Amino acid sequence: MTTRQVGERVQRREDPRLLTGNGRYVDDLGRGALHAAFVRSPHAHARVTDVDIADAWELDGVEAVYTWDDLDGRVAEPLPVLIPHPAMTHPRTGFCLARDEVNHVGEAVVMVVARDRYVAEDACGRISVAYEPLPAVVGLENARSAARLVHDDVPGNVSANLRQEVGDVDTAMASAPNRLTLDLEIERSACMPMEGKGVYARWDADDGSLRLYSSTQTSTGVRAAVAAKLGMPLAKVEVVTPDVGGGFGVKIVHPWPEEVLVPWAARRLGRDVKWTEDRREHFVSSAHERGQLQEVEVGFDDDGRLLALDVRFWHDNGAYTPYGIIVPIITATQLLGPYKPGSYRVEFWSMYTNTVLVTPYRGAGRPQGCYAMERTMDAIAAHLGLDRAEVRSRNFIQPDEMPYDHGLMFQDGRPLKYDSGDFPASLAKLKALVGWDDFAAYREQAAREGRRVGLGIGCYVEGTGVGPYEGGHVQVETSGRVNVATGLTTQGQGHQTVLAQIVADELGVRLEDVHVTTGDTRRMAYAVGTFASRGAVMSGNAVALAAKVVREKALRIAADALEVSADDLEIADGVISVKGAPGTSIDLRTVAVLSNPLRYAFDASAAAATQFAGTFDPDKPPVADDDEPGLEGQDFYSPTQATFANGMHAAVVETDPVTAEIRILRYCVVHDCGVMVNPMIVEGQVHGGVAQGVGGALYERMVYDEGGQLLNASFMDFLVPYASEVPHVETDHLETPSPLNPLGLKGAGEAGTIPVSAVIASAIEDAEGFPIRSMPISPAELWELRRTRATD
């Protein structure tokens, strides 16, 4: 009997290659290619009045120097808005190279292509750009004051304003026995993939075609964007995504300016061209996220039950909005987490600032929403003197209320409806895991030792597995090897392992026979990409459906060969046999041979095929009349809505009474992503997410000065937590299968990150006894808070 693979803690098959330095990233490719480098704006806001490139041409090895004036066709036009929304009254995007104005430090102004990166960088140093500096808008307070404008024609610096209300908030608030207001802040940060963005373009002049290797989260998106920008037929553009050293959201945007310029230059020069983002470029010219100011008003009864919740927030979208307002929309609609708010009103303003643009970063607006909601829950508990977990549990949506519709509209205008989840069960598990009820005794003991400890909690719900679709293609070679292709790209999530597990089960083959290809438009032309924790739900179900197509075809051919009904057959370990009569069987590779009209041309498997030759009429087509040749099939999975994962985290922190150093002593997670395909990979994802969340809670932030200079644009100053700062993560799971997809899956890739700032704030607050309203928090800030309170 074959072991079922789904649910098994299968070792990641990509690890031996990746961990021994044998990964193949974009920068490993393109030996002999020309290299691109960029002159980027040193000003946050300025008019470009003159560009002098003459000296750059003097340098041996320089092949091209381009400014906006050199760009042609659609390459000279502004970049697209990828996800428009009616509330975006003032969308603005930049150009591939600045035309006459720069709106943030790091915006590309000139592109140099040279023999190697050294020459290209030296040439950039010889270019002089004349700027007429303009006043910069930095920070949300400045943007809101509108004393200065980022874009002259955008009043109030507001790119979008959106309000949703469910129920009558004003009436419910007015009659609530208790009311609180909270002013909250969460600062700007950014993801830091080990590998920056990268693109390598191979132009085939004879064929007029382009192959692009891109470190992207969406190969098909890059393909479509580049083909459109360069005015090329799709058929002449291929995008291959090799290994990607982390994406975390920033590589979803397509096209980045460089993704257009590099292939454009390759075509123009008739040469291969490549570019790899360096770390400083990543800081100043990729994308950030998180920055929000929030105002919460909450009305609740004496038992801590929510009656009315009124949230207003301002979201810093940076200088441009290529990605629309998906991040604040997610904050607004998923802020409620597992709770019923009574009535709810949310309004946000998405604000321009002269800083690098903002796109989704792991969690994508949910860490901010969770932070607002969970700070509010703690404030209610403190106000009423109730247990914090108890207040949460009194407000939970109950399992028998699923599916649950908050009455909110998501980005696409469709209602946002939770499909499943058991929040009371998750909380019970979390309390048991962290020892919630024993903490008071632990705190007393710690106090006797002169130590200050606190316990924090945070709950969240996450819409995962968004559509519109993803495809799977499964092909059985005559050798018995099973090739699986999906359009997802992979950045380290272990897709090659997990998708193989699913196909092995659905097709009935051995895991080691299944080989998965991702992110290659030659193999899967219709695909969306890897983001929004959609890989497992979307591609998992797509490859399962495709495997089913192949399985059914295999059974039809086998039934013909064995002269039995397909209903009487089963497949295990790649062998099709008659149920109850395992002696009567045929293996899948033989079926693959038989499925092909040229079957006797396949030497490797001819012997297997001839074994059954006698059972066939040589004049009869080798496959059933309505079947196509080849043992392969394709299918697409296209859901009607997202599926909602959830989780609850708790942390124990210790704050030093003298130095205010903050240490996380324990970090506990209960996570529910429906059926887990590979629990080990899910745990890895959750642990990685928590590590990223710890960075966001305690260390990572973007520090701009008033002029819009990013002061900490290197790893010397931007603190990413080391292993020494990331606690051991204790994890427990609940599996509430999603009723929305055949495999019952929900996503897991972002979950770990979402509640961490809320949880750490909660724990520090518990340790210190005063509210924490701004995150991240450093020891210096905590020390300052203590000092201010002492002198108040």
Interface with ligand MCN (CB under 6 A): 193, 246-249, 362, 491-495, 498, 530-537, 673-678, 681-682, 685, 688, 745-750
The nearest distance, CB 683 to ligand MCN, in angstroms, is 9
Structure tokens at 545: 């459906």
User: Which lies closer to ligand MCN via its Cβ, residue 266 or residue 543?
Assistant: 543
Q: Which of 581, 481, 573, 499 is nearest to 536 (CA)?
A: 499
Nearer to ligand MCN, 30 or 492 (CB): 492
Q: Which is nearer to ligand MCN, 366 or 666 (CB)?
A: 366
Q: Which is nearer to ligand MCN, 317 or 491 (CB)?
A: 491
Q: Are 670 and 429 in contact (CB under 8 A)?
A: yes
Work out how close the CB of 667 gets to ligand MCN at its nearest, in angstroms, rounded to a whole number. 18
Q: Smaller CB distance to ligand MCN: residue 238 or 750?
A: 750
User: How many Cβ atoms are within 10 Å of 739's Cβ, its own excluded?
Assistant: 12
Under 8 Å between Cβ of 38 and 281: yes
CB of 229 to ligand MCN, least distance (A): 25
Distance in Å, CB of 571 to ligand MCN, minimum = 23
Residue type, 453: V
Strand 581-587 versus strand 575-578 pairing type: antiparallel
Which of 156/679 has CB closer to ligand MCN? 679
Task: Please report how close the Cβ of residue 496 comes to ligand MCN at its closest, in angstroms.
Answer: 9
Q: In whole angstroms, what is the distance from residue 368 CA to residue 411 CA? A: 17
673 in Cβ contact with 747 (< 8 Å): yes
Rounded to a whole number of angstroms, the minimum distance from the CB of residue 302 to ligand MCN is 40
Cβ at position 489, least distance to ligand MCN in Å: 9
Residue 461 pairs with which residues in a beta bridge?
A: 646
As a dihedral over the C-alpha atoms of residue 264, residue 270, residue 271, residue 276, rounded to 10 degrees, the angle is 0
Q: How far is the CB of 679 from ligand MCN (least distance, A)?
A: 7
Smallest distance, Å, CB 287 to ligand MCN? 12
**Residue 591, φ and ψ in degrees, nearest 5:** -60, -35
Q: 454 in helix, strand or coil?
A: strand
For ligand MCN, the closer of residues 6 and 230 by Cβ is 6
Q: Which is nearer to ligand MCN, 53 or 532 (CB)?
A: 532
How many whole angstroms from its chain centre is CA 94? Answer: 23
Q: Which is nearer to ligand MCN, 446 or 677 (CB)?
A: 677
CA distance 103 to 41: 9
Nearest to 38 by CA among 355, 276, 354: 276
CB of 485 to ligand MCN, least distance (A): 16
Residue with token string 């905590």: 782
Buried b (16+ CB within 10 A) or exposed e, 290-312: bbbbbebbbbbeeebbbbbbbbe
Closer to ligand MCN at the Cβ: 257 or 688? Answer: 688
Q: What is the dihedral of CA 139, 142, 143, 146, to 10 degrees?
A: -170
Residue 248 Cβ vs ligand MCN, minimum distance, rounded to whole Å = 4
Q: Which two tokens stand for residue 526?
A: 């219709």
CA count, 13 A, side-chain hemisphere, 72: 6
- Asked whether the beta carbons of 353 and 157 are under 8 A apart, the reply is yes
Least distance CB 331 / ligand MCN (angstroms): 16
Q: Which is nearer to ligand MCN, 149 or 536 (CB)?
A: 536
| Cβ 744 vs Cβ 370: under 8 Å | no
Cβ closest to ligand MCN, residue 118 vs residue 526: 526
Nearest-approach distance from CB 490 to ligand MCN, in angstroms: 8
Q: Tokens 């607006």 belong to which residue?
A: 365
Cis bond before residue 657 (omega within 30° of 0): no
Handedness of CA 401, 407, 408, 413 (dihedral sign): positive
Separation in Å, CA 682 to CA 174, 342, 497: 45, 34, 12
Least distance from ligand MCN to the Cβ atom of residue 677, Å:
3
Count of beta carbons in the 10 Å neighbourhood of residue 543: 33
CA dihedral over 89, 362, 335, 693, signed as positive or negative: negative
Which of 338/752 has CB closer to ligand MCN? 752
Q: How far is the C-alpha of 121 from the C-alpha of 284, rounded, in Å?
A: 17
- Say if residues 368 and 404 touch (Cβ distance below 8 Å): no
- Give the Cβ contact number of residue 790 at 10 Å: 7
User: Residue 350: CA atoms inside 13 Å, Cβ hemisphere, count?
Assistant: 34
Closest CA relative to residue 507, chosen from 656, 343, 662, 635: 635
Q: Which is nearer to ligand MCN, 538 or 561 (CB)?
A: 538
Name the minimum Å distance from CB 361 to ligand MCN. 7
Nearest residue (CB) to ligand MCN, 48 versus 330: 330
In angstroms, the CA 28 to CA 6 distance is 34
